Amino acid sequence: MGQMLVDGQRIEFSDEKNILQVIRKAGIELPTFCYHSELSIYGACRMCVVEDKWGGISASCSTPPKNGMEVYTNTPKLQKHRKMILELLLSAHDRDCTSCEKNGRCKLQELAIRFGIKNIRFGEREENLPIDDSSCAIVRNPNKCIMCGDCVRMCEEVQGIGALGFAYRGSNIQVVPAFKKKLKDVDCVNCGQCRTVCPTGALIIRNDTAKVWKDLNNKKKRVVAQIAPAVRVSIGEEFGMAPGEITIGKIAAALRKLGFDEVYDTGIAADLTVIEESKEFIERLEKGERLPLFTSCCPGWVRYAELKFPELKDNISTCRSPQQMFGAVIKEHYKKSDAEDGRETISVAIMPCTAKKYEAGREEYSNNGVKDVDVVITTQELCLMIKQAGIMFGRLEEEALDMPFGLASGAGIIFGVSGGVSEAVLRRCYSQKTSSTLKEISFVGVRGMDGIKETVVNINGKEIKMAIVSGLKNAGELIKAIQKGEKNYDFVEVMACPGGCIAGAGQPLPSSKSVTRQRAGGIYKADSSSQIKRSEENPMVIALYNGLLKGKHGLLHNHCACNSHSNEKES
Amino acid sequence: MTIATIEQLHQASEKYGALLDMQHKKVLVCAGTGCVAGGSIEIYNRIKELISEKGLLTEIELEEEKPGIGIKKSGCHGFCEMGPLIRIEPYNYLYLKVKIEDCEEIVETTLIKGQPVARLMYNWQNKVYETQEEIPFYKKQTRLVLGNCGHIDAESIREYIANDGYKALGKCILEMEPEQVCKTISDSNLRGRGGGGYPAGRKWAQVVAQSSDIKYVVCNGDEGDPGAFMDRSVMEGDPHRVIEGMIIAGFATKSHQGYIYVRAEYPLAVERLKAAITQARQYGLLGDNILNSGFSFDIKVNQGAGAFVCGEGSALTASIEGERGMPRVKPPRTVEAGLWAKPTVLNNVETFANVPQIIINGSEWYKSIGPEKSPGTKAFAITGNVNNTGLIEVPMGTTLREVLFDIGGGIKNDRRFKAVQIGGPSGGCLTEEHLDLALDFDSLKKVGAMIGSGGLVVMDEDTCMVEVARFFMNFTQNESCGKCVPCREGTKRMLEILEKIVAGKGTVEDLELLEDLADTITETALCGLGKTAASPVISTLKFFRDEYLAHIVDKKCPTKNCKALNSIEIDKTLCKGCSKCSRVCPVGAITGKIKEPFSIDQNKCIKCEACLDSCPFAAIREV
């Protein structure tokens, strides 16, 4: 506890770790490129410098507050240094702003405008380094990199992967995967968290909208959309709405205007996942084998496990992710009518996630060269399409989704947030189906934004130990603890992105903690206002099991030796 | 053999001392990097062969108790300009620029007959200096840290022990508490020799104050300044002194593991340190339960891949950890969270090498040398346009004039002194007006320079100071780690501007921009190296602004170093019109009528200077 003077204003501080936080508390937005509260302090951009009363200059991000401290944030000296730093950055940066994906939302551009940089006294960038577009999720343009290291730290500190690092010295420094390999050739799991912190256009989502536009304009194609739960609580942010606002009706209207033939909810596939995964869990629990059961709906996590913990293969649920379950179901559903109408069904998934692009391209999700999910576009890409089409999203009248796949239970919707899968599975597994049980489940410790949540529940007289992790570094640590025998669980839910899909890399930016929290609020609100709370009570799900899925449960599972359903699909 | 107790250490010291005495003549061949490059190892082998043939060799390692001649590879004698060097005791003759052909004469004349070989001795202004101590280069020096360098076998722990080696360690363990050791170092005012001048004792005490039960002692041997080789010489010439200093630091701070970080460009230092560590372990002076005290300490040598920035504390510890060598923000400081985030004593080679003598002689003795606030001696490496380049050690507070003229022997070729770059690329230049400045940490800071690790690059009147600034900026830009924007991009742009100026394309606005950049880099860079990256430019601009302006406004380099600014002209009074020049000119820039003065078309001239050599009348000049 203490007090300090910020530009003469007395500000109290308590647990703020650095004076940057104290200064922001004072209502002053100090510019930064490399400061993110969830990452370690890096101190490289030097934009957040402040001056003390003796004229000394220090970076506020790395200076702890002290009682009686006196700092100034906007002196002529500081203005001069900040402008110089911006000029230096701009001179080393690509200047093709107008054609940059980040145009209008680039931090460098924003600060250059804010500080009135009209003239750059240095020469232009000379080298033109090759763009790495090898990854199906992320495109890396080193010519736009300002070496703030945010991506490097995100990948290392939050995701525990370290796919990116620094190479070379001085002004030749570059952020690259090890040995200058391509992104697709290293242990990148395509989670895209790097791009959520990249201040410029150096790391962007691969843009797959061209393919969608093409199919939308082709009468021979039946373009079917599935909308992931997390998209509905974030897309509004791009159109001036508050994070967490539920816009599923507007999304449906927008998609129809764009020309989609059918608009469905991925939540129904999440309901299928709940049923399949619960069954699998109970079976394993009874047999006491392959425990803990790890969830399989997050493709970033699945890839991470394959790369770092291949020994866990059998512990990961054989269930396909909701996206892929749905992809398989849709293709199956339209098989007959496609043949009759002479059309081809194109399955487009609208996801908060970049790793879903990778997942859709996995070998096991294609049948004779036909992909279950043809294109994955992120929330951001959908926003681009809506803007391109001139659709005023905010003014759209809400519309209902199409049937038979437009209805999801609340349990399916909460998949969008960390803990949601676990909560949905619990709703399924609890034998008591009253509303008070629902409330009880929501309080057992599955909710909240903590990176690692643990809980013990009682199902049918049996104690079940559960863990819910988000952020892959947390996952890695938890697995190590399990492997060492320090921890013991029956069920582990893993989401690659901190907070779950609502904070996916395909979402509008910023995905700060408070924004994520608001989006989670939206998800839980959607759940509480839904008529159906449990997956097994979703009439459309029941209809599917009695119809299309009869004898075809294999559509919902991954091929593997341990999976008895696989034979069913082949037959 | 193992020395298990302090008594045994004293016995060993006496025993090896007695064995050394058996060597009634000692040949000390300099085996520092410079002399080795000059062939000193071959000379060593040859002399050894010659004296063995005559049955005169006595080797201490064999514990031979017969009187004879000892020959050893010693550490750097310091007088590198004159290498390879051989010192012969007890006469204290110093032979210079010795060649393999001289060996027989040295053996016959000096080792057998006891006569000097005058032609190999230092000769200055027709005076032959017989003993090393008389030579002006040595006379004004106070060699304490370098005391053993050139006097004992750099590869022998026995000789180190015979010369009171490890006595300080024994004293700490037997007579002192860790707190007392810290206090002695604090009281001595020993300041870090790596450049910052931070009090070593205070640093140790801060590490002691940390609650962590794991602490480290790290020795910074990543001497990266161009032209500096003090630390290298100590590590090569007296490795045990550094090791002893580190063990004492470990004892004082209750640390059990030390690391020496040496740049890989110092292979000899690495080899000698590793050998010395092995010896110290064999003798029970390093490792578990040192001298039966219950105190354990071990040392590991880490090689750096030659990055200047790894001399910065946090970059150095990151490099030891296997991470990229990049400085991190502070706090936490190294004393709180250094190597592997544990409290760490990080001192430079020379600092650790000062420790044993302070323990033995006490803090008051140490404070009696040099100024009170910057006591002790300082090693300097003098290079550049000076007669006696080499490694020297003087009390702090010695004036620049004494160092350059008395010890350094003045400027080469009787040119005028212009400036000296002190403190490497982080330091600044000192000029004629600073010649009587007493060199210590505080005085230099006041004039915008720093003692740095102790590199002195001497420049004469023919040196272009803009080019000097460009040289150092080029170095800094290449060595910047690239982390913070001001250092990474700022030094690049400063270098661009300096290159423009030396190419004759600079403008007055460039000078302003150069100063603006220097200002931002100095005030906002992340680490110490970044903050001082602009120093060579700032100080040359301060003292030699006219030279910058000459390049920019007059488009002339006053020292004619910057080729782009020179023009080649024909002196019409000397030219006989022979046309030779016109015939060698590759671009046809020279024209004229035979027997009349020729002229050069400056727009065509590419300054290849071919005409200069061709003129039989010396009529063509560069102006």
Across the interface, which of B479, B485, B493 has its CB nearest the CB of A46? B485
Across the interface, which of B482, B485, B523 has its CB nearest the CB of A170? B482
Q: What distance in Å separates the CA atoms of residue B69 and residue B380, rounded to the nearest whole number?
A: 33
Å between A14 CA and nearest CA of chain B: 18
Domain A2-74 in CATH 3.30.460.10? The answer is no
Topology (CATH) of B377-460: Ubiquitin-like (UB roll) (3.10.20)
Considering only CB atoms, which chain A residues are within 8 Å of B484? Answer: 43-46
Whether A463 is catalytic is no
**What φ, ψ does residue B125 adopt, rounded to 5°?**
50, 50
Domain edges within chain A: 2-74, 121-204, 210-556
Q: What distance in Å separates the CA atoms of residue A409 and residue A527, rounded to the nearest whole number?
A: 8
Q: What distance in Å separates the CA atoms of residue B394 and residue B408, rounded to the nearest whole number?
A: 12
Residues contacting A32, CB < 8 A, separation 6+: A20, A45, A47, A48, A61
The DSSP secondary-structure symbol of B438 reads B
Find tokens 């897309």 and name the residue: A235
Considering only CB atoms, which chain A residues are within 8 Å of B479? Answer: 169-170
When the candidates are 3.40.190.10, 3.40.50.12160, 3.30.70.141, 1.20.1440.230, the CATH number that belongs to B465-554 is 1.20.1440.230
Whether A298 is catalytic is no
Å between A50 CA and nearest CA of chain B: 10
Most A CBs within 10 Å, among B321, B329, B491, to test the A interface: B329
- For A413-431, the pLDDT digits (tens) are 999 999 999 999 999 998 8
Tokens of residue A26, six digits = 């004072």
Domain A121-204 in CATH 3.30.70.20? The answer is yes
Question: Is B194 in contact with B313 (CB distance < 8 Å)?
Answer: no
The superfamily in CATH containing domain B15-134 is Glutaredoxin (3.40.30.10)
Please judge whether A46 and B486 are an interchain contact, meaning their C-beta atoms are less than 8 angstroms apart. Answer: yes
Q: What distance in Å separates the CA atoms of residue B218 and residue B339, rounded to the nearest whole number?
A: 8
pTM: 0.92
Q: What distance in Å separates the CA atoms of residue B34 and residue A278, rounded to the nearest whole number?
A: 76
Whether A429 is catalytic is no
- For B529-571, the pLDDT digits (tens) are 999 999 999 999 999 999 999 999 999 999 999 988 988 999 9
Average pLDDT, stretch B570-580? 93
Which sign, positive or negative, has the C-alpha torsion B319, B321, B323, B328? Answer: negative
Q: What distance in Å separates the CA atoms of residue A108 and residue A114, rounded to the nearest whole number?
A: 10
Query: CATH 1.20.1440.230 in chain B, residues?
Result: 465-554
Residues contacting B387, CB < 8 A, separation 6+: B81, B408, B409, B410, B411, B412
Whether A359 is catalytic is yes
Which three-class secondary structure state does DSSP give residue B554? helix
Most A CBs within 10 Å, among B512, B516, B524, B529, to test the A interface: B524
When the candidates are 3.40.190.10, 2.70.98.60, 3.40.50.11540, 3.30.70.100, the CATH number that belongs to B164-367 is 3.40.50.11540
Query: CATH 3.10.20.600 in chain B, residues?
Result: 377-460
Question: Is B182 in contact with B201 (CB distance < 8 Å)?
Answer: yes
Q: What distance in Å separates the CA atoms of residue A349 and residue B466, rounded to the nearest whole number?
A: 63
Across the interface, which of A46, A122, A147 has its CB nearest the CB of B526? A46
Question: Is A271 in contact with A278 (CB distance < 8 Å)?
Answer: no
Q: What distance in Å separates the CA atoms of residue A147 and residue A140, rounded to the nearest whole number?
A: 13
CATH number of B567-622: 3.30.70.20
Query: How many alpha carbons lie under 13 Å from residue A266 in its C-beta half-sphere?
Result: 30
Question: Is B597 in contact with B612 (CB distance < 8 Å)?
Answer: no
Q: What distance in Å separates the CA atoms of residue B510 and residue B466, rounded to the nearest whole number?
A: 13
Q: What distance in Å separates the CA atoms of residue A27 and residue A20, rounded to the nearest whole number?
A: 11
Å between A122 CA and nearest CA of chain B: 7
ipTM score for this prediction: 0.91
- For B275-311, the pLDDT digits (tens) are 999 999 999 999 999 999 999 999 999 999 888 999 9
DSSP characters for A249-306? HHHHHHHHHHT-SEEEEHHHHHHHHHHHHHHHHHHHHHHT-S-SEEP---HHHHHHHH
B505 touches A: beta carbon within 8 Å: no
Given the residues A238, A359, A381, A423, the one annotated as active site? A359
Whether A101 is catalytic is no
Q: What distance in Å separates the CA atoms of residue B195 and residue B529, rounded to the nearest whole number?
A: 11
Q: What distance in Å separates the CA atoms of residue A506 and residue A521, rounded to the nearest whole number?
A: 19
Question: Is B445 in contact with B467 (CB distance < 8 Å)?
Answer: no
pLDDT confidence of B41, banded at 50, 70, 90?
Answer: very high
Query: CATH 3.40.50.11540 in chain B, residues?
Result: 164-367
Average pLDDT, stretch B228-245? 95
Considering only CB atoms, which chain B residues are within 8 Å of A149? Answer: 483
Find tokens 């291949």 and name the residue: A310
Q: What is the dihedral of CA A251, A252, A256, A258, to 10 degrees?
A: 20
Å between A15 CA and nearest CA of chain B: 16
Across the interface, which of B477, B493, B520 has its CB nearest the CB of A170? B477
Angle (CA) A236 A240 A244, round 5°: 40
Å between A40 CA and nearest CA of chain B: 10
Q: Average pLDDT, whole number, for chain B?
A: 93
Question: Is B54 in contact with B103 (CB distance < 8 Å)?
Answer: no
CATH number of A210-556: 3.40.50.1780
Peptide bond connecting B586 to the previous residue in cis, omega within 30 degrees of 0: no
Q: Each residue's pLDDT tens digit in chain A (571 positions)?
A: 899 999 999 999 999 999 999 999 999 999 999 999 899 999 999 999 999 999 999 999 999 999 999 999 999 999 999 999 999 999 999 989 999 999 999 999 999 999 999 999 999 988 899 999 999 999 999 999 999 999 999 999 999 999 999 999 999 999 999 999 999 999 999 999 999 999 999 999 999 999 999 999 999 999 999 999 999 999 999 999 999 999 999 999 999 999 999 999 999 999 999 999 999 999 999 999 999 999 999 999 999 999 999 999 999 999 999 999 999 999 999 999 999 999 999 999 999 999 999 999 999 999 888 999 999 999 999 999 999 999 999 999 999 999 999 999 999 999 999 999 999 999 999 888 888 888 888 888 899 999 999 999 988 888 999 999 999 999 999 999 999 999 999 999 999 999 999 999 999 998 889 999 999 999 999 999 999 999 999 999 999 999 999 988 889 998 643 333 333 333 3
